[in-house]
């Protein structure tokens, strides 16, 4: 797998941002004739390599890290890179810090970065297919809520969203988010939460009211993302996760909910279900996309 750490100045954020990008290069070969094959050190096996071609593209999974992590930690604490390699898919992991992926009330537009700027940068500079059916968003812990919210608000971008252990931040259960903003837990232990979402009394009807947005798009007959929500049976955030499940079911979204028996809120869970998602939940081609395909 080829792994890039890309740093550029984000106009949406107003500072330089790190992004990790993993390419499935182990499945690619420049060798197409016997003479060249005899001159190289590593001999590709017949039939298991795809050729490099001009303008080739890859299906892309935007993989959003959890709270307290960064874009590099995902690759150090899980085998996401290897799992993506097995499916010939490109991974994009942006560093979003502890931001909940929202256009924060304190003034930094993280959701604009994720849903408007990042896809254009990635598809403009890297070999990422721009087609909706080739793009997916996935996250774990805080990143799962970021994935969930981004897919609800921008269904035109992603075919499928995978939410693994999403227990903090964006939610379709507006009443639950309101109670969290009114309570003392986040106010005193994580002031950034209230600073990001703003006053509880201003929540309904705002951009943070995901249920209202999801309901509106459903009624408009828009093409919506499919949702796969996964939670460990031992996770302390299970009730909050199942609040999102209930709201999506109420709105009759295309939803699959998986309870991971015996798993808790940790990297054992996230590593296992990143692999499971790529193996079973996403419609992956397992091959590059060549020009005119």
CATH number of 2-28+61-281: 3.40.50.1820
So what's the pLDDT on residue 46? 55
Instruction: Give the domain ranges of the chain.
Output: 2-28+61-281
Tens-digit pLDDT profile for residues 198-255: 999 999 889 999 999 999 999 999 999 999 999 999 999 999 999 999 999 999 999 9
Distance CA 289, CA 239 (A): 40
Considering only CA atoms, give the Rg of the chain: 20
pLDDT of residue 268: 97
Q: Can you tell me the distance from the alpha carbon of 178 to that of 184, in angstroms, rounded to the nearest whole number?
A: 12
Looking at residue 41, its pLDDT comes to 56
Helix axes 142-153, 210-219, angle to 10 degrees: 30
Is-contact 212 205, C-beta < 8 A? yes
pTM of the model: 0.94
pLDDT score at 166: 95
The whole-number pLDDT of residue 178 equals 94
Give every residue of the chain whose pLDDT is below 70, as ranges: 32-48
In this predicted structure, what is the pLDDT of residue 43? 59
**DSSP sequence for 20-32:** EEEE-GGGEE---
Contact 58, 128 (CB under 8 A): yes
* Res 29: pLDDT: 79
In this prediction, residue 26 carries a pLDDT of 87
- pLDDT score for 197: 93
């Amino acid at each position: 797998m080829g792994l890039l750490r890309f740093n550029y100045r984000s106009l949406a954020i107003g500072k330089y941002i790190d992004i990790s990008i993993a390419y499935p290069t182990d499945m690619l070969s420049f060798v197409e004739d016997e003479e060249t094959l005899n001159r190289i050190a590593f001999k590709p096996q017949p039939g298991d390599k795809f050729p490099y071609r001009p303008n080739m593209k890859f299906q892309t999974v935007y993989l959003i890290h959890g709270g307290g992590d960064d874009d590099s930690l995902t690759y150090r604490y899980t085998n996401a890179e290897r799992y993506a390699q097995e499916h010939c898919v490109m991974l994009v992991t942006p560093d979003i810090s502890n931001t909940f992926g929202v256009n924060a009330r304190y003034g930094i537009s993280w959701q604009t970065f994720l849903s408007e700027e990042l896809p254009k940068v990635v598809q403009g500079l890297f070999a990422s297919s721009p087609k909706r059916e080739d793009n997916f968003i996935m996250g774990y812990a805080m990143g799962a809520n970021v994935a969930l919210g981004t897919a609800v608000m921008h269904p035109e971008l992603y075919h499928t969203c995978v939410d693994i252990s999403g227990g903090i931040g964006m939610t379709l259960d507006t009443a639950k988010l309101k109670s969290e903003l009114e309570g003392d837990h986040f106010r005193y232990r994580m002031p950034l939460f209230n600073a990001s979402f703003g006053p509880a009394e201003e929540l309904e009807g705002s951009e943070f009211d995901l249920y209202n947005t999801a309901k509106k798009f459903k009624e408009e007959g828009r093409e919506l993302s499919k949702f796969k929500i996964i939670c460990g049976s031992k996770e302390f955030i299970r009730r909050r996760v199942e609040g999102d499940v209930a709201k999506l079911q109420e709105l009759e979204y295309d939803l699959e909910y998986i309870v991971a028996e015996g798993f808790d809120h940790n990297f054992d869970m996230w590593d296992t279900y990143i692999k499971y998602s790529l193996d079973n939940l996403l419609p992956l081609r397992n091959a590059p996309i060549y020009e005119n395909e």
